[in-house]
Structure 1
Amino acid sequence: MRAARLTSPAATLTGPGAAGGADPVVLVAHGSRDPRAADATRALARAVSAARPGTPVWASWLDHTEPGPTEVLRDLAVAGHRRAVLVPLLLTAAYHHRVDIPAAVAAAARSGPPLSVRVTDVLGPADDTADPALLAGLCRRLGETRPGRFDALVLAAAGTRDARARRSVGRVADALGAEFGVPCRVAYASAAPPAAGVAVSRLRASGARRVAVSAYFLAPGLFHDAVTEAAGAAGAVAVAAPLTDAPELVELVLRRVDDRRVVASTG
């Protein structure tokens, strides 16, 4: 793996560290071949940094885009930081949260100076509850599409084979439906049925006349493109944009940073 090039506009390696300032925050996204996804993560990092002056904020990716979290953590340790907070930019606590992120943190511990790393909850439901900020962000993006009156919703997510993760998506759908007072069904872009077009068609077949689609995505990319195309072909009146750097998502990231409950830690 190539060495990381830490050129994030949101932070510098110097500054708080051994001096006792704010612990750096490392955002970890899944990664995508689509450059729009990395751009969205960088925009979120800048927004989080702007909302928390004095806190270094770094973007990293598990795949496809550099730097990875191992490189960022190792370089922070070399620069003199003693602690860091790692926030998974994930909406479900599935394989990447359980396996890939701990492996990245462990690799940094093996290859660099000591660094205590606190890994937070994912951005999706923690303790079986969808954060109000997450719901508010979804509502914002849906409202931006100006869908008019709708009588049913689809919450379209990326997809996972993890049954527990799918249940967490279902809880968000239930909460979103309750927010608008309409039925809300889950759809997936991969790994699990139903697809977005199928979910829209089923709601229309059951009597819904105007079905809108909420995008349970953090960034644009091929999955969101596929959802948009399929839902539109099935008759959806609107498909929301991903959360990207919505103010509510920034608030949620900072809540995770400030939550002292330890999901995982090293050092």
Structure 2
Amino acid sequence: MTETPYQRAAAESAASALLLLAHGSLDPRAQESTRALAQAVRLSQACRVEVAYLRHVRPRARQVLSTFAEAGHDRVVVVPLLLTSAFHARVDLPRALSDPPALAPVVTPVLGGSPGAPDKRLVAALRRRLTELNAAFDAVVVAAAGSSDVEACSSVTAMASALGADLGLPCLAGFASTASPTPGEAVAQLRLAGAHRVAVASYCFAPGRLFRQAADSSTAAGAVGISEPLGDAPELVELVLERFHQACDTKAGAGSAF
């Protein structure tokens, strides 16, 4: 019997393993959030899904890749849980995946996309988390970690513009570290411009030190609330799965996407 394209794709996916590679945090809630995302992806896709971290906690990528190799997976896809192509994507990620134990993994682009084209699913996920605040607001700050990389900051600014357009409300970017304005300063700017109830959208995957800094900064400036990180939002699961399937469509040994 001739194998259909659907059957072939399903078999390739089943033979592949997926590694969600997160930044990592000493906050145990961050690991819980990452594991929740992995479980949501696992339930939507018949393949092995594991998590690893770049910093602070274990397991690290090489450890999980060794486990995949020992289990006989013939293809490994790594989806970096990063929202910008800043230092962690340019330096930490290649370092973590250098000298893989067996078959070189296929590494997808970071989930944040390019500065000029914010992914609509991330916009929808941010909006979903804002609605969970159950609070009225007339302006929004998109709070991100921050970076000295101009392009990375530009991608956050582009995301703020996209979310503002989607909501039909004024929206500014704020950065918890390195870049400016801070989330609190962005809240203050919007209030000075006439906004009365400013909400903050957390543009991060999981809780951690910078999430707390953004929350403290914006609360002190009078924000009505800060949304939870993206976590296992359905739109994020969909985006991860798209990256996975795109990588599975590449030829074995095609290399990484750094």
Q: TM-score, normalised by structure 1?
A: 0.85
SS in 2 for 1:213: strand
Per-residue Cα deviation, 1:2-42 (whole angstroms, up to 9, x for no partner): xxxxxxxxxxxxxxxx9983310000000111111111111
Is 1:121 the counterpart of 2:109? The answer is yes
Q: TM-score, normalised by structure 2?
A: 0.88
Q: What are structure 2's unaligned runs of at least 5 residues? A: 1-10
Alignment of 1:149-164 (within 5 A): 150-164=137-151
Q: What is the identity, as a one-letter code, of the residue corresponding to 2:90?
A: R
Map of 1:23 onto structure 2: 16
Q: What is the identity, as a one-letter code, of the residue corresponding to 1:167?
A: S
Q: What are structure 1's unaligned runs of at least 5 residues? A: 1-17
Does structure 2 retain, via aligned residues, the 8 Å contact 1:28–1:59? Answer: yes
Q: What is the identity, as a one-letter code, of the residue corresponding to 2:130?
A: L
Map of 2:8 onto structure 1: none
C-alpha distance in 2 between matches for 1:145 and 1:96? 30
Alignment of 1:95-114 (within 5 A): 95-108=87-100, 112=101, 114=102
Q: Please identify which structure carries the higher helix content.
A: 2
Map of 1:71 onto structure 2: 63
SS in 2 for 1:32: coil
The Cα shift of 1:226 comes to: 2.0
Does structure 2 retain, via aligned residues, the 8 Å contact 1:125–1:172? Answer: no
Q: What is the percent sequence identity of the aligned residues? A: 47
Map of 2:256 onto structure 1: 265
Q: What is the identity, as a one-letter code, of the residue corresponding to 1:265?
A: S
1:191 and 1:21, CA in 2 relative to 1: closer, same or farther beyond 3 A? Answer: same
Report the RMSD for the aligned CA atoms in angstroms. 2.1
1:208 and 1:42, CA in 2 relative to 1: closer, same or farther beyond 3 A? Answer: same
1:19 and 1:89, CA in 2 relative to 1: closer, same or farther beyond 3 A? Answer: closer
Choose the corresponding residue for 1:184, options 164, 171, 177: 171
Alignment of 1:86-235 (within 5 A): 86-108=78-100, 112=101, 114-126=102-114, 128-148=116-136, 150-235=137-222
1:265 and 1:125, CA in 2 relative to 1: closer, same or farther beyond 3 A? Answer: closer
Q: What is the identity, as a one-letter code, of the residue corresponding to 2:88?
A: H
Q: What is the identity, as a one-letter code, of the residue corresponding to 2:33?
A: A
Does structure 2 retain, via aligned residues, the 8 Å contact 1:82–1:116? Answer: no
1:141 and 1:19, CA in 2 relative to 1: closer, same or farther beyond 3 A? Answer: closer
